[in-house]
Amino acid sequence: MDRPLAALFDAGDCSSIQRVQMQPVALSEFYAQLMRLLPDDRARPFVCDGSPLECRSFIVGLNAATRLDCSFRKYWSDESGFKLALFRQDYDRTRRRRGNRPVIEAISAQIAPCLETNLYAHPTKKAKDLTRADREVSIIEFLFLAIRPRLVFCHSKEPIRFFEKATGCSGFDQDEVKRTRWHGHEFLIFGRPGPLYTLGPRRASELGAMLADRLRTEPWSQ
């Protein structure tokens, strides 16, 4: 394909979405499409361990607070996917793992394989620094359509509002896992509106275990 997956259809054309999803996607093709959407090569579209195409779960925040000191390409392999160990090594050189990061990692470990991503790919130190142009959702849509996760955990108000509008589902940010659809794909969704770091790693791990259990026991028709 010579256009991004998200450009091949609109939200109302579910038949087109189904056709795209049935096509096998190589990691090299996935990466090439992603790079066409990335605002710059030092943005951080996602973090995962190995192939993003094998991720069953998404963790979706607002946007990354830390801009990469090098190109995203450094952490990518067309053979194996994202080089998590190398990323963590560089991240630890840049800043301490505090705030949301330990909490995200605790949840991610329970619902693995997991894609840690954001509503907006443009990194800023503070959410208020996001411009209107930065609030572009083509990457999260592309990732969702290419990977088709079984679970989306979104944190902070804006990602929750986005998924409420996209799916027509509400109430999933009130300690209730719900089942919904977006672009014709069925998945579980759960949200937490408050600051994620207040959970702490222990409670985050417990939350992740609850979500993993729901994933295991949920009946799927496809």
Instruction: Quick: pLDDT tens for 176-208.
Output: 999 999 999 999 999 998 888 899 999 999 999
Instruction: Assess contact for 38 and 6: CB atoms under 8 A.
Output: no
- CA-CA distance, 170 to 111, in Å (whole number)? 22
pTM of this prediction? 0.86
Q: pLDDT per residue over 68-119, tens digit each?
A: 788 899 999 999 999 999 998 988 887 776 678 899 999 999 999 999 999 9
Going by C-alpha positions, the residue among 73, 29, 22, 27 that lies closest to residue 50 is: 27
Q: Which domains does the chain have, with CATH numbers?
A: 15-217 (3.40.470)
